[in-house]
Amino acid sequence: MLELMGMELDKKNGAAGGGGGDEASGLTALLPLAGAAEQPYVSELLSFTLDRLHKEPELLRVDAERIRRQMQEVAVGNYRSFIAASDALSFIREQLAGFDKHLESLTTEIPKLTTGCTDFVESAQQILEERKLNKTLLANHSTLLDLLEIPQLMDTCVRSGNYDEALDLEAFVCKLSKMHCEIPVIQALAAEVKQTAHSLLSQLLQKLRTNIQLPECLRIVAHLRRIGAFSESEMRLQFLRCREAWLSGILDDLDQRNVYEYLKGMIYCHRMHLFDIVNQYRAILVMTNLEMRRIMMEGFFSVGRCIKSEII
235-282 pLDDT tens trace: 888 888 888 888 888 888 887 777 788 788 888 887 777 777 888 888
Quote the pLDDT of residue 67: 93
In this predicted structure, the answer to whether residue 111 has a pLDDT above a threshold of 70 is yes
Q: Are 178 and 238 in a shared domain? A: no
The structural domain count of the chain equals 2
Same domain, 205 and 240: no
User: Residue range 14-32: average pLDDT?
Assistant: 44
Which residues form the domain of 240?
A: 230-293
Residues 152 and 197 in one domain: yes
- Cα distance between residue 198 and residue 177, in whole Å: 18
| 205 and 243 part of one domain | no
The dihedral sign for the CA sequence 109, 112, 116, 117: positive
Q: Decide if 16 is inside a domain.
A: no
- Give the dihedral sign, CA 27/31/35/41: negative
Question: Mean of the pLDDT values across residues 151-163?
Answer: 89
Candidate from 63-72, 206-215, 255-264 with smallest mean pLDDT: 255-264
Instruction: Assign 127 a pLDDT band (cuts: 50, 70, 90).
Output: very high
CA–CA distances in Å: residue 177 to residues 118, 147, 173, 224: 39, 12, 6, 21
> Per-residue confidence at 118, pLDDT binned at 50, 70, 90?
very high
Q: What is the pLDDT of residue 208?
A: 87
Concatenate the DSSP letters of all residues of 130-197 into one string. Answer: HHHHHHHHHHTHHHHHHHHTHHHHHHHHHHHT-HHHHHHHHHHHHHHHHHTTT-HHHHHHHHHHHHHH
165, 180, 210 — which closes off a domain?
Answer: 210
Predicted pLDDT at 128: 93
Co-location of 128 and 205 in the same domain: yes
Within a domain: 56: no
pLDDT of residue 14: 39
134 domain residue, yes or no:
yes
- How far lies 270's CA from each of 65, 212, 243, 302, in Å? 152, 16, 12, 9
CA atoms within 13 Å, Cβ hemisphere of 82: 8
**Cα–Cα distance between 51 and 48 in angstroms, integer?**
8
Question: Can you say how many angstroms the Cα of residue 299 is from the centroid of all Cα atoms in its chain?
Answer: 69
9 belongs to a structural domain: no
Q: Is 174 within a domain?
A: yes
Is residue 13 predicted with pLDDT exceeding 50?
Answer: no
Mean pLDDT of 103-113: 88
Domain shared by 267 and 201, yes or no: no
Residue 104 has pLDDT above 50, yes or no: yes
149: pLDDT strictly greater than 70: yes
Tell whether 204 is covered by a domain.
Answer: yes
- Say if residue 201 is in the same domain as residue 139: yes
Domain presence at residue 21: no
What pLDDT shows up at residue 65? 93
Q: Are residues 253 and 189 in the same domain?
A: no
Report the alpha-carbon distance of residue 10 to residue 8 in Å, rounded.
Answer: 5
Q: Which of 256, 257, 245, 243 is nearest to 287 (CA)?
A: 243
- 199 and 158 co-located in one domain: yes
Q: Mean pLDDT across the chain, nearest whole number?
A: 79
Q: Given a cut of 70, is residue 130 above it in pLDDT?
A: yes
In a domain, 302, yes or no: no
In degrees and rounded to multiples of 5, residue 148 shows phi and psi of -70, -20
How far from 69 is each of 47, 56, 57, 74, 257, CA to CA, in Å? 30, 20, 18, 9, 152
Nearest CA-CA partner of 176 in 189, 195, 160: 189
Overall average pLDDT of the 103-132 stretch = 91
The predicted structure's pLDDT at residue 105: 86
